[in-house]
Structure 1
Amino acid sequence: MPISGLALWRGGLLAVPVMAALLVACSPPMDGGPAAPTASSTAPSTTLTPGVSMAASTAPTVAVTTPTGVTKVLTIVLENHGVPAVTAAMPELMKLATTYGRTSHYSATTHPSLPNYLDMAGGSTFGVTDDEAPAVHPVAGPSVFDLALTTGHIARTYAEAMATTCALETSGRYAVKHNPWAYFSDAASRSACQVADVPLGDLTSGALHDDIAAGTLPNIAYVVPDLCNDAHDCPLATADSWVSGWVSQVLEGPDWQAGRLAVVVTFDEAEKTGENIVLTVVVAPGLHGAVADGALTHQSWTRWMSDLVGATAPGNAGSAPSLGAAFGL
């Protein structure tokens, strides 16, 4: 059966210093928590609908392991390409999709970029219809990142090419419109952003590399590539190589090896013509060729993150089907 109430299990959480107004103490590091079992490499491809686990959708005579123990999710958001373009030009991402799991009907919210990012972070577009900076669009209320902190969990954004923490203006290849936490303007949220919305670094050093290597990735890890590596200004092949490099590193790290980490790769929106359907890939222990066929949206990601940390989903995300539940997570 699908795994629910993940936030009730708090093993593996690691406290980091953030603003006292937001955090409560996290539980000690996990020493003996259950690692996710692995399924046989011969496990068949499985089609899932939201809320139906792999085991439930597989013939009774076939043994398939349901993923368990995921308490952390690392999400990479790419730019402006729908399923046909990604399928044709991102072979490494497609390998992950077919090896682990992918969606078949995941809708982005709208055009242009910023409303999609706000919808992920806050369960609403907040009436925003353009890509202006936080000074133009300050958003009241908590983001899903803030909600993680207030429930004693950890959230962190890793933004490539960002010069300082929680930068509120675009500079060089850093685009603030792709960094949603920077738009949430309540004092508590802004203070948390200044601590936990950090420059990404690179594959050899910096915040993301170090957290992967140490097994200290947060419960909600949100990765913002720069304007080239997210396929906004550069070819999809560039994004494919960038994602592959990071995912390869993640799969060697302690969080993945312990079975407590899933990885999501998605797109903010598709091209402006045609359906706004994007590919979302879910890499998690125990998934083998899974396809979530149900209708999902960016708020499905928000719902999963909220459930993961035991918070009430912000905005309208509480009524969305969970992306995690669609894969039995």
Structure 2
Amino acid sequence: MSNKVLGWALATAVLLGACGSGAPTAPSAQTSAPATASSAPATSTAIPSTSSTSTSAQPAAVSKLLVFVVENHSLDQMSAAMPYTVALGRKFGAATSYRAVTHPSLPNYLAMTGGSTAGIVDDAPPASHATDQPSVFGQALSVGGTAKLYAEGMPGTCATASSGTYAVRHNPWAYHLGERAACKQFDVPLMQLSTDAAGGQLPNAGMVIPDVCNDAHDCDLATADRWLRTQVEAVMSGPDWRAGRLAIVVTADEDDRHHGNVVLTTVAHPSLHSVVDTTPLDHYSLARLYSEVLGAPPLGQAATATSMASTFNLPLGGG
């Protein structure tokens, strides 16, 4: 069996059956033509929700996107060792054919936030190479929105060199030279996340970067899963999530180079109920989602990537 099929089968089995009792036994299938920015969802399976909470006919529009990124593990590995993250996908939405675009870490982060790897093929710091291409963070500011990257272990703001458990290669905004002034203002240590979440001040374009232990680079996936549970549930307790303004994505930068670069990716929003999306997606699709949430043109290769907003049928607010 191929890695792709194995990954899909394992993830679907885990998402539908391994996270508690009472899972539905007869999901209904929805299929349509391949998704574009304006099309209906492509190949997703909507499973009836087991929650007793009623849903409104007109869900709140998504105007904020917050992405959490972990490190160097495949869909198979994450599905087997991250029960909270899997349960999050089972409750809301999961993409089972989502791929990173390359190796190593840095170009994948740039693809997520800029729609391009900028030709970078290593993990060197900004002093060795950077890009003048725009990021979704700069794009958010340019259209009158807000942007913020929260990096655990980072000393000060927009640190351009690794220090302790902070790895600059995981901080894509630090590589965008033309946005350095904004980076110095809005690329901040993780401690600001809880304050922004509690105050309903999460950004329109946001990213959360754990340190090299909590992202499962140097520590195990169970550690990363526990960290995610703490951070995600704090965000979900805030008014942005409760009002339906916020969508959350959890993904990995890349796999371990042995599973076809397929990584577990969960998409959470109050309008989603147990959606399993088998559409081929990648980090350019995520960059496109950022821009679609902002109501702005997708950057770089994100312009031709499959729309996650469409495949997950997310209600967008346009910034």
Task: Give the TM-score of the pair, scaled to structure 2.
Answer: 0.82
Aligned to 1:193: 183
Matched, 1:254 2:244: no
Deviations 1:123-181 (A, max 9, x none): 11111111000011110121111011000011100000001100000000000000000
Aligned to 2:40: 52
Amino acid aligned to 1:52: A
Aligned to 2:8: none
| Stretches of 4+ aligned residues off by more than 2 angstroms | 41-54, 56-59, 63-68
Q: Select 1:171's aligned residue among 163, 166, 183.
A: 163
The sequence identity of aligned pairs, in percent, is 47
Name structure 2 gaps, 5 residues minimum. Answer: 1-22, 48-53, 315-319
Aligned to 2:14: none
Q: Residue 321 of structure 1: CA displacement?
A: 1.1
Amino acid aligned to 2:154: M
Q: Select 2:268's aligned residue among 283, 303, 318.
A: 283
Structure 1 distance, partners of 2:25, 2:126, is 47
Deviations 1:20-47 (A, max 9, x none): xxxxxxxxxxxxxxxxxxxxx9898565
Do 1:46 and 1:288's aligned partners in 2 also have CA atoms closer than 8 Å? Answer: no
Structure 2 distance, partners of 1:262, 1:217, is 11
The total of aligned residue pairs comes to: 278
Structure 2 distance, partners of 1:48, 1:133, is 44
Q: Residue 70 of structure 1: CA displacement?
A: 1.2
Q: Residue 183 of structure 1: CA displacement?
A: 0.2
Aligned to 2:92: 100
**SS at structure 2 position matched to 1:77:** strand
Change in CA separation of 1:126 and 1:58 when aligned onto 2, cut-off 3 Å: closer
Aligned to 2:112: 120
Structure 2 distance, partners of 1:153, 1:144, is 11
Matched, 1:161 2:168: no
Change in CA separation of 1:130 and 1:85 when aligned onto 2, cut-off 3 Å: same
Q: Select 1:294's aligned residue among 279, 282, 297.
A: 279
Matched, 1:82 2:74: yes
Q: Residue 53 of structure 1: CA displacement?
A: 4.5
Q: Select 1:236's aligned residue among 204, 221, 230.
A: 221
Do 2:99 and 2:282's aligned partners in 1 also have CA atoms closer than 8 Å? Answer: yes
Compare 41-50 and 123-132 and name the one that shifted more. Answer: 41-50
Structure 2 distance, partners of 1:46, 1:191, is 49
Q: Residue 310 of structure 1: CA displacement?
A: 2.1
Trace 1:7-26 onto structure 2 (pairs within 5 A).
Answer: none
Do 1:111 and 1:269's aligned partners in 2 also have CA atoms closer than 8 Å? Answer: yes
Matched, 1:266 2:251: yes
**SS at structure 2 position matched to 1:301:** helix
Q: Residue 68 of structure 1: CA displacement?
A: 3.7
Q: Select 2:201's aligned residue among 207, 216, 234.
A: 216
Q: Residue 66 of structure 1: CA displacement?
A: 7.2
Q: Residue 219 of structure 1: CA displacement?
A: 0.7
**SS at structure 1 position matched to 2:248:** strand
Root-mean-square deviation over aligned CA pairs: 2.3
Q: Residue 259 of structure 1: CA displacement?
A: 1.2
